Amino acid sequence: DPDRDRVGQHLPDGATTHRHPGREQREERYGDTRGPRPEPVLDPLVLSFQLKLLWLSGYLPHLTSCAECGAEGPLVGYSARAGGAVCERCGADSLPLSGEGIAGIEGLLGTPLADAAISKRAAREALRVITSSYEYHGGFRLRTLAARA
């Protein structure tokens, strides 16, 4: 196996490349998992649940004014460090966040889980907000659910 040989050349003397015992069976069943990752699932219920977990943990994203300077808007990005949406002046290192994204996140936070609804664009932005919040405040990367074909 050329991949195993290439990996093996970087191992210390005496180390071996060991394939996990069930890898072949997994590849037969699910295909090669080393390829491109599928698109994350943008299920409103899942996003709403994750946002409410952040809220319960004390990390509710501030979305009504700039979390950095307090300006009323327009809000153009999200900064996990600042704890919420930021204006153009404070948004140099922020994630892009549209008015649609802000409204979608507020909607998910303000409705029961069973009634969660959000547009696809706003869902993508909500997922980025959730992921960056976990990375910054929790110190870990969130492994998002992936759609299976």
What's the pLDDT at 118?
A: 95
pLDDT recorded at residue 40: 63
The two structure tokens encoding residue 149: 């074909």
Cis geometry, peptide bond prior to residue 21 (ω within 30 degrees of 0): no
pLDDT of amino acid 149: 36
List CB contacts of 47: < 8 A, sequence separation 6 or more: 108, 116, 118, 123, 126, 127, 130
Helix (H) / strand (E) containing 28: helix 23-30
What's the pLDDT tens digit per position in 78-107? 999 999 999 999 998 899 999 999 999 999
CA distances from 52 to 11, 64, 71, 78, 102 (A): 44, 17, 25, 17, 15
| 3-class DSSP assignment, residue 85 | strand
Q: Which residues of the chain have pLDDT under 50?
A: 1, 4-8, 11, 38, 145-149
The pLDDT assigned to 95 comes to 94
